[in-house]
């Protein structure tokens, strides 16, 4: 029969030799949050980089890049306005609001 | 143009990357039983102030092609249907249709 104190001493010595921390009561030290590798960098590059025309146009206005999708959208809005299907005018007061005329 | 869910996911990934070190530091303090409870509680409160998209669990792998969130083959980053289309076209190296 070996005394518990002897076993504890042995464990402490073993920890000092193999450079592990002596933690006989298994207290949570939170070390695993520091030990784990950072996952952000690999997470951030999951999607392949896509060319963004509108962003390019905003960054380099001197190149005068035309975004066909944006042109089409503006054209569609103009067409809708001509047919009277544009966005309603902003209400000046609470009474003008379209919400006021809505059925309860 | 990727759809809104993909854009949101890209945003979440960027925020996770930007806040990861600070979050880890607070996690270390909050989960460390050797520290006084008041300090740990303060650290936990700080953790709660981080935004929704700074947690790595909010990030979801979505299809590169369609942005679909389910049925993703993580090895290729494609949903099952896009995987099939690309594999049949021969755009995925080493993938072959089974035949025996």
Q: Top-level CATH class of B1-60?
A: mainly alpha
Contacts of A41 in chain B (CB under 8 A): 17
User: Cβ A69–B27 below 8 Å, yes or no?
Assistant: no
Contact B2, A51 (CB under 8 A): no
DSSP 8-class letter at B57:
G
Q: How high is the ipTM of this complex?
A: 0.79
Query: Taking Cα atoms as reference points, which of B52, B49, B45 lies closest to residue B29?
Result: B45
Q: Tokens 């054209």 map to which residue?
A: A75
Helix (H, G, I), strand (E, B) or coil at A94: coil
pLDDT > 90? residue B8: yes
The domains of chain B are located at 1-60, 63-92
Contact B11, B53 (CB under 8 A): yes
**Quick one: pLDDT band at residue A46, thresholds 50, 70, 90?**
very high
**B93 φ/ψ angles, rounded to the nearest 5 degrees:** -60, 135
What residues of chain A, 24 to 83, have a C-beta less than 8 Å from chain B? 27-31, 33-34, 36, 38-41, 43-44, 46-48, 50, 69
CB neighbourhood size of A77 (10 A): 13
Q: How do residues B37-79 score in pLDDT, each as one tens digit?
A: 999 999 999 999 999 999 999 999 999 999 999 999 999 999 9
């Amino acid at each position: 029969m070996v005394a518990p104190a002897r076993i504890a001493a042995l464990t402490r010595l073993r920890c000092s030799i193999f450079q592990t921390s002596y933690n006989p009561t298994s207290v949570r030290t939170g070390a695993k949050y520091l030990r784990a590798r950072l996952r952000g960098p690999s997470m951030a590059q999951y999607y392949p980089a896509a060319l963004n025309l509108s962003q390019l146009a905003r960054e380099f206005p001197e190149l005068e890049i035309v975004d066909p999708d944006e042109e089409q959208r503006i054209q569609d809005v103009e067409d809708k306005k001509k047919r009277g299907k544009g966005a309603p005018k902003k209400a000046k007061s609470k009474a003008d609001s379209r919400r006021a005329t809505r059925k309860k | 143009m990727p759809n809104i869910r993909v854009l949101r996911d890209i945003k979440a990934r960027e925020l996770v990357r930007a806040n990861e070190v600070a979050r880890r530091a607070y996690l270390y303090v909050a989960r460390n039983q050797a520290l006084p409870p008041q300090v740990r509680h303060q650290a936990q409160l700080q953790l709660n102030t981080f935004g929704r998209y700074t947690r790595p669990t909010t990030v979801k792998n979505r299809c590169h092609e369609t942005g679909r969130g389910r049925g993703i083959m993580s090895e290729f980053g494609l949903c099952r249907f896009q995987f099939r289309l690309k594999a049949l076209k021969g755009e995925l190296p080493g993938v072959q249709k089974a035949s025996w």
